[in-house]
Structure 1
Amino acid sequence: MEGLSELALDHVAQYFSALSEPSRLRILNYLREGERNVGELAEACECSQANVSRHLSTLAKHGMVVREGRGTAVYYRIADESIYALCDLVCGNVAKRLEAQASLLGSLAPKKKR
């Protein structure tokens, strides 16, 4: 981040903001398996097609997914695979923290008598 202009920092913040919605992270995870259309993503995410379309629009706006129309169907795929390296790094760190918290809570819990 060092040396970035205020405008660039604003764009970075907006990029991360697009990743702050769990449904969008689920969509990105499903797209890891390959391209899918809105209906397939809606079914996988257990969301309405309108909701998935809205999330895909946000992801596309930030350059995370690419939209391709084929006849009457529209398919989405990941625009840049490096998004997974970022997500895996962050998710791995969050998982480690949650495990540490669970371990700490487990050690503080009263022991059951037998």
Structure 2
Amino acid sequence: MEMLNDAALIKVASYFKALSEPTRLKLLNAMRDGCKTVSELKELTGCSQANTSKHLAMLLEAGLVSRLQKGNQAIYSIADECTYELCDIVCGNVAKILQRDAVISAALQGINPNS
């Protein structure tokens, strides 16, 4: 990131902003095994049609998903598999933080978390 100008940093921030909402993460996760229609994504995430479409539009604008129009159906897919690698790294780090916090909390309460 050292060599990025302000315009590039704004684009990077926009990318992370798109990943900062749980519903959008659910949508991306639902596409791990392949392309999905809006209706399929709606069912998999439990969101309304309008909410699903709104979040997909933001993911599309950020370049995280691709869209193919097939008749009257929009079919979405992940634009770059590296997105999942990034999410997996972040999830691993969050798990480490939660585990560390649990150990600290247990220590403060005088509990051995490993027993």
Superposition TM-score, scaled by structure 1 size: 0.92
Q: Which residue matches 1:84?
A: 84
**Aligned ranges 1:43-58 → 2 under 5 Å:** 43-58=43-58
What 5-or-longer segments of structure 2 have no aligned partner? none
Residues 1:7 and 2:14 aligned together = no
Counterpart Cα distance in 2 of 1:75 and 1:108: 51
Moved over 3 A (4+): none
Where 1:15 maps in the other structure, the secondary structure is helix
Counterpart Cα distance in 2 of 1:31 and 1:58: 15
Counterpart Cα distance in 2 of 1:12 and 1:21: 16
Task: For residues 35-78 of structure 1, give each alpha carbon's deviation from its aligned partner in whole angstroms, at most 9, with x where no partner exists.
Answer: 11111111111110110100000000011100111112111000
> Aligned pair count?
111
Code of the residue aligned with 1:21 in structure 2: it is: E
Where 1:75 maps in the other structure, the secondary structure is strand
**Aligned ranges 1:1-114 → 2 under 5 Å:** 1-109=1-109
Counterpart Cα distance in 2 of 1:17 and 1:105: 30
Code of the residue aligned with 1:25 in structure 2: it is: L
**RMSD between aligned alpha carbons?**
1.1
What 5-or-longer segments of structure 1 have no aligned partner? none
State percent identity of aligned pairs. Answer: 50
